[in-house]
Amino acid sequence: MASQELALKLQRRLQWEEAEEGRPQPAPRAFAAREPESESPAWAPTACADAELSAQLTRRLDINEGTARPRRCKVFNPYTEFPEFSRRLIKDLESKFKLYDAGRDGFIDLMELKLMMEKLGAPQTHLGLKNMIKEVDEDFDGQLSFREFLLIFHKAAAGELEEDSGLMALAKLSEIDVAQEGVKGAKDFFEAKVQALSCASKFEAELKAEQDERKREEEKRRLRQAAFRELKAAFST
């Protein structure tokens, strides 16, 4: 369809140029003065707009057919963007997010949020769910990314949510003490930011503990495999 439209536009363009050639030519001075004004504003913006619209329609068709390539976006690092939260809290929240991301697309949409609130025992109306998303929807796509999900708990810890709001109910019913675990009991978020700067060593300690735990698991797995091989060899002889 896009190629047919382009062919029609080119044909009309050629017809217009042929008609212009058949008309009496103006004086050289007038032609030199008016050519940039008549040619550029009339054709260039239209072509640019047509190309942009064609690209948008093509991508929309690709999305509908499931052949669209994902667009690159800024890499999100929760540990640097939410330094007031401990690594353990972020991992717990990530597990909670993945639990309700039924589509496994990295987002919690309206229906998934509805199911989440029902399972938490705080069902919301359709309008209430839309308002919950709207309050933290930074990119206006109508769904929650993991960053926006963390933003809910960030706002809850900083005291920026209404006590009777759906987001506050989500934060309270998630069985994660954000105020204690996330900002170490600080009532004011800026005070928490100051505390977060002094937690760098704690962050490194948590990271090292995770690495040590991973090593221990690898060692246990290696010993189990060795024991299994010995047992297999004993039965085969």
Cβ count within 10 A of residue 47: 12
Structure confidence by residue, pLDDT tens digits, 32-72: 444 444 444 445 556 656 676 677 677 667 766 666 555 54
CATH superfamily of 78-178: EF-hand (1.10.238.10)
Asked if residue 196 lies in contact with residue 84, where contact means CB atoms within 8 angstroms, the answer is yes
Burial class of residue 226 in the structure, from the number of CB atoms within 10 Å of its CB (0-12 exposed, 13-18 middle, 19+ buried): exposed
Could you give the maximum distance between any two Cα atoms of the chain, in Å?
107
> Could you give the angle at which helices 126-136 and 146-157 cross, rounded to 10 degrees?
90
Secondary structure of the chain as H, E, C letters? CHHHHHHHHHHHHHHHHHHHHHCCCCCHHHHHHHHHHHHHHHHHHHHHHHHHHHHHHHHHHHHHHCCCCCCCCCCCCHHHHCCCCCHHHHHHHHHHHHHHCCCCCCEECHHHHHHHHHHCCCCCCHHHHHHHHHHHCCCCCCCEEHHHHHHHHHHHHCCCCCCCCHHHHHHHHCCCCHHHHCCCCCCCHHHHHHHHHCCHHHHHHHHHHHHHHHHHHHHHHHHHHHHHHHHHHHHHC
Residue 68 phi, psi (nearest 5): -75, 140
- Mean per-residue pLDDT for 95-114? 94
Per-residue pLDDT at 166: 92
- Mean per-residue pLDDT for 153-172? 91
Determine what percent of the chain is predicted with pLDDT higher than 70. Answer: 60
Per-residue pLDDT at 199: 56
Q: Which pTM was predicted? A: 0.48
Q: Examine the pLDDT at 190 and tell me if it is beyond 60.
A: no
CA distances from residue 29 to 8, 25, 26, 42, 46 in whole angstroms, order as listed: 33, 11, 8, 21, 27
Q: Examine the pLDDT at 178 and tell me if it is beyond 70.
A: no
Structure confidence by residue, pLDDT tens digits, 85-99: 998 999 999 999 999
For the chain, the domains span 78-178, 183-228
Q: Examine the pLDDT at 124 and tell me if it is beyond 90.
A: yes
